Amino acid sequence: MDNTAVLIHKRATSPEEKKSQRESPQQTDTIPDGGVLAWTQVFGSWILFFNTFGLINTFGIYQTFYETGQLFKASSSDISWIGSIQALTILFVGALTGPVYDAGYLRTLLVVGSFGVVFGHMMLSLSHEYWQVLLAQGITVGLGASCLFIPGIAVLPGYFSRHIGLAVGLAVSGSSFGGIIYPLVFYRLIDEIGFSWSVRVLGFMALGLLSIPVVCMRMRSRPSSRRALIDTSAFTDLSFIMFTAACVIGYCGLYVTIFYVSFYGESERILSERMAFYLVPILNAASHLGRTVPNWLSDHFGPLNIMAPSAIIMGVLTFCFIGANYSAALIALAVLYGIFSGVYLSLPGVVMVSITKDKSRIGTRIGMAFSFIGLGILAGGPGGGRILGSNPPSSNWERTWIYAGVCALVSGAIFVGLRFYRGGRRLMLKI
């Protein structure tokens, strides 16, 4: 009888012992919080953001080029579907790859994702019709980048604790640099070697860069439990609903500007064709400041206290595009817009952490939120293009900027409402 009890006890506890053994690398070992291997992971994540959100931020130059009709004939709305589907795929499918990463398949995600990004560029270089570009750039590149999105963030907490904010901030800055380098390379080459070889060069750049994280990045320990795809309790959490709705509406206005600001400068003869192409990297360069400084400020004042006014300022700046009818004003607006729009890319995760009571649900809720946010991008680009119409007169541009500006202001108003819902009337409260 005693032997049976002992045997039952061993069988009952052995799963826990095995679980403890699986968790022990992360729980008992000291997180290095620095060192060559840890910072190598940051560099690898920087490259992943360079080739994921950096590609989204580059689409403005493709929008401008496709509008010329040299490759295919399509309306502004139809063209913007390419970039919007690419962004939606990165965010929506990227959320679904979380459990794959949790299961320990980091290297598989990196290899498959790198292949998709490079193969998509090579197929894009062979495309001559709208549907071919949509498949190559919108879907293939988007699917490849979606496999790289989650690893870029998820690998870092295994190597950093006290400096995790700095590590993530440096990694995310890769998206700004991707939005600077890729447009410049594309524009400098297209007149010399044509569209096809310019895109191939970008594909070879991605191949060389993405080979680094494939070789160097590694999981320090596997998560003790797999991330759930859906947290049903989020649908009864008013804070989550308000915040996600605000981001969806805000991204709608954000990507109208990102997709169309270059084309606006060229079509309205405000900027030369050369300078209009440079407007995209200028905006992305300024957004680097908006993706780093707000994170630092949020540690002192609270993320919602930073995000709400920034969204409102972004809306006001969007309306200012209506009157930006000379080059200096348009360039200055692009710089300011880049700074304040950066909060939409740097702070959502921080806000989600602050409004989620059960921290074990953070990963799932961030994935859910970004899946919905992708719908905002889908509505922003094509919606703005539909308002703009074909061969747009100046009046259509005015309506387009009003559409984007109203979206940003409504988003800001919801952020303000959420801030007071959670913090009341105490203005100096960190929240």
* pLDDT tens, N- to C-terminus, the chain (431 residues): 444 333 333 334 444 444 444 444 444 357 787 788 989 999 999 999 999 989 888 898 999 899 888 999 998 889 999 999 998 898 888 778 878 887 888 999 999 999 999 999 999 999 999 999 999 999 999 999 999 988 888 788 788 877 776 787 788 888 889 989 999 999 889 989 999 999 999 999 999 999 999 999 988 776 666 677 788 888 999 999 999 999 999 999 999 998 899 989 988 889 888 888 889 899 988 888 887 787 777 777 888 999 999 999 999 999 999 988 889 999 999 999 999 988 887 788 778 878 888 766 777 788 888 888 888 888 888 888 888 876 554 458 999 999 999 999 999 999 999 999 988 877 667 77
Distance CA 263, CA 122 (A): 25
pTM as predicted: 0.81
Distance CA 52, CA 391 (A): 31
- Answer yes or no: is 17 within a domain: no
Is residue 204 located within the same domain as residue 235?
Answer: no
- Answer yes or no: is 119 within a domain: yes
Q: Which residues lie closer than 8 Å to 159 by C-beta, 6 or more apart? A: 31, 32, 33, 37, 38, 41, 42, 167, 220
CA 207 to chain centroid, in Å, comes to 20
One-letter amino acid identity for 40?
Answer: T
- Answer yes or no: is 246 within a domain: yes
Is residue 248 located within the same domain as residue 278?
Answer: yes
Is residue 233 located within the same domain as residue 116?
Answer: no
Please count the structural domains in the chain.
Answer: 2
CATH of the domain at 98: 1.20.1250.20
Is residue 429 located within the same domain as residue 356?
Answer: yes
Residue indicated by tokens 């409504």 = 410
- Answer yes or no: is 31 within a domain: no
Is residue 74 located within the same domain as residue 181?
Answer: yes
Is residue 173 located within the same domain as residue 310?
Answer: no
Domain boundary among 168, 203, 227: 227
Is residue 265 located within the same domain as residue 296?
Answer: yes
Is residue 245 located within the same domain as residue 219?
Answer: no
Burial of 2 (0-12, 13-18, 19+ CB in 10 A): exposed
- Answer yes or no: is 1 within a domain: no
Is residue 204 located within the same domain as residue 174?
Answer: yes
Full residue range of the structural domain in which residue 343 is found? 228-431
Domain boundary among 205, 227, 249: 227
Q: Which residues lie closer than 8 Å to 75 by C-beta, 6 or more apart? A: 385, 389, 390
Q: How many CB atoms lie within 10 A of CB 272?
A: 12
Is residue 346 located within the same domain as residue 384?
Answer: yes
Domain boundary among 196, 212, 227: 227
Is residue 233 located within the same domain as residue 169?
Answer: no
Is residue 283 located within the same domain as residue 409?
Answer: yes
- Answer yes or no: is 125 within a domain: yes
